[in-house]
Amino acid sequence: MSSGQIRQVRASHILIKHEGSRRKASWKDPEGVRIRSTSRESAAAQLKSLQEQIISGAARFEDVAVRFSDCSSAKRGGDLGPFKRGQMQRAFEEVAFALNVGEISDIIDTDSGVHVILRTA
């Protein structure tokens, strides 16, 4: 089945917000102090380092999400649950649907910030 025919996927993600994010607050940073002072480049560098730890086996995706993700899904290890096309921002959705189960994405930019996605189903 090609990625164009898949009806829904399940994925987890790690989101790092930055000064360009549309909402400059998170459950970890309710006043947005850290987010407003974080450049996109700095957020991406932090996320790249976290991604490398996960891929190398030094850290588990879920544990990294709980500690570092700016999304409220962090409390669930980054799990977004199942979703269909049209429910997420387009760039995020395109990557999530293109991944194989168990595969981790490169860094994705959306209006929310920078993400890495793990497709779980």
In tens, the pLDDT along 57-86 reads 999 999 999 999 999 999 999 999 999 999
- pTM given for the model: 0.93
51 is catalytic: no
**Residues in a beta bridge with 110:** 113
State which CATH number among 3.40.50.300, 3.10.50.40, 3.40.50.720, 3.40.50.450 fits the domain covering 8-119.
3.10.50.40
At 36, the amino acid letter reads R
Q: Write the DSSP assignment of 74-112 as a string of letters.
A: GGGTTEEEEEETTSS-HHHHHHHHHSPTT-B---EEETT
69 is catalytic: no
13 is catalytic: yes
Structure tokens at 92: 């995020």
Cβ neighbours, 10 Å, residue 6: 13
Q: Where are the domains of the chain?
A: 8-119
Write the pLDDT tens digit of every residue in 91-120.
999 999 999 999 999 999 999 999 999 999
21 is catalytic: no
